[in-house]
């Protein structure tokens, strides 16, 4: 079994409106002021994301590679290029008061945040994936390509990590 980080382009406002208008467990949590998301609510949020969003890309890792992926790839290589806070937000970030304690988790970044990150990435003048082992280079390259696409499309980014 493995895990994947999906990249989706959509409007955060539209996602929030849809979640608040729903009658599911996630909406009840939002209306109550937010809080920790249980698995049922997390699955419902992911269903809404997948329904509303344009899928962009996905990166995967093995079950045993979770720490490596979160700490060395996202928390290391990606964080060095786009900033630690933004990189962390790719894995999970409170959304409409919902806090992710369970998988699947949802992360997000507004287009303006991504524009700044992509500008920093482009200012490096070199490919951050160059010289990395093939698996790491492919993951890092896919992450950066997804961020660039979201910026170019003028939408926000929502990720699903499951």
pLDDT tens by residue, 90-130:
999 999 999 988 789 999 999 999 999 999 888 887 777 78
Count Cβ atoms within 10 A of the Cβ of residue 147 and give its class: 0-12 exposed, 13-18 middle, 19 or more buried.
buried
Q: Are strands 2-10 and 156-161 parallel, antiparallel or unpaired?
A: antiparallel
Contact 90, 78 (CB under 8 A): yes
Indicate the SS3 state at residue 12.
helix
* Nearest-angstrom CA–CA distance, 126 and 147: 17
Residue 46 backbone dihedrals phi, psi, to 5 degrees: -60, -40
Sequence spans of domains, the chain: 2-161
pLDDT of residue 120: 87
CA neighbours within 13 Å on the CB side: how many for 123? 9
Q: Are 95 and 55 in contact (CB under 8 A)?
A: no
Q: Is the pTM of this model over 0.75?
A: yes
By residue count, the chain amounts to 162
- Name the class of domain 2-161: alpha beta
pLDDT per residue over 40-82, tens digit each?
Answer: 899 999 999 999 999 999 999 998 899 999 999 999 999 999 9
Q: Which residues contact 97 (CB under 8 A, 6 or more apart)?
A: 29, 30, 33, 34, 35
């Amino acid at each position: 079994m493995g895990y994947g980080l999906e990249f989706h382009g959509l409007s955060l406002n539209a996602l929030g409106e849809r979640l608040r208008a729903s009658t599911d467990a996630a909406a009840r949590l939002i209306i109550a002021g937010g809080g920790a998301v249980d698995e049922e609510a997390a699955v419902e949020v992911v269903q809404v994301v997948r329904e509303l969003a344009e899928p962009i890309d996905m990166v995967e890792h093995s079950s045993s590679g979770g720490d490596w992926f979160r700490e060395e790839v996202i928390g290391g290589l990606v964080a060095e290029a786009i900033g630690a806070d933004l990189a962390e937000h790719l894995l999970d970030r409170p959304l409409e008061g919902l806090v992710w304690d369970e998988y699947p988790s949802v992360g997000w970044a507004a287009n303006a945040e991504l524009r700044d990150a992509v500008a920093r990435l482009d200012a490096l003048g070199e490919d951050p994936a160059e010289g990395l082992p093939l698996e790491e280079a492919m993951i890092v390259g896919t992450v950066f390509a997804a961020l660039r696409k979201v910026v170019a499309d003028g939408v926000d980014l929502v990720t699903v990590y499951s």
